[in-house]
Amino acid sequence: MNSNNQESRQSSLSHLDGNGDITMVDVSGKMATTREANAVGQVRFPSEIYAQIKAADGMTKKGSITQTAHIAGIMAAKRTHDLIPLCHPLPLDKIGLAFAYDDDLNAIIVSGTVKVTHKTGVEMEALTAVSIACLTIYDMTKALSHDIVIDNIHLVTKTGGKSDYSHA
């Protein structure tokens, strides 16, 4: 890669300065606005395991799959700055998680919404909440099968800040 392309790409990445060194984004000059992000992911099961989990309404010997994952997701969103370098610690206003069974995919779909009034967005917090909720579901069900797949974790929407985003 020539140096002009490298410089151009580095300047477009928010956590790199002009020299290519890692930096935390300076948000001191930004205005605090309401920002919200929504993320989604899924935990797919072999069909017989999915049927067993759904028939038991998500209850296992360890307890409720979704209730445990809900708490884990909330805790994770609140600790995102401890998990992902360069994320700002944020006083989150709302963390919501929802869980739905999808019979076509043999999956539990996890949706997460995080909201804050601050100088920086909450995309990473929403993605972290969904990721950890999915991992918790895996942990709660791995005794039934290791053929469980966590996938399609992605940002769905974000509002506030410089620009809004919606996944097509």
- Give catalytic residue positions: 139
**How distant, in Å, are the alpha carbons of 9, 14, 22, 57, 82 from that of 4?**
9, 18, 19, 57, 34
Q: Helix (H, G, I), strand (E, B), or coil: what is residue 37?
A: strand
- Residue 110's H or E segment, with its range, is strand 107-118
109, 17 Cβ separation under 8 angstroms? no
Distance between CA atoms of 62 and 105, rounded to whole angstroms?
A: 24
Q: How far is CA 92 from the centre of its chain?
A: 14
- Burial (Cβ within 10 Å: 0-12, 13-18, ≥19) of residue 161: buried
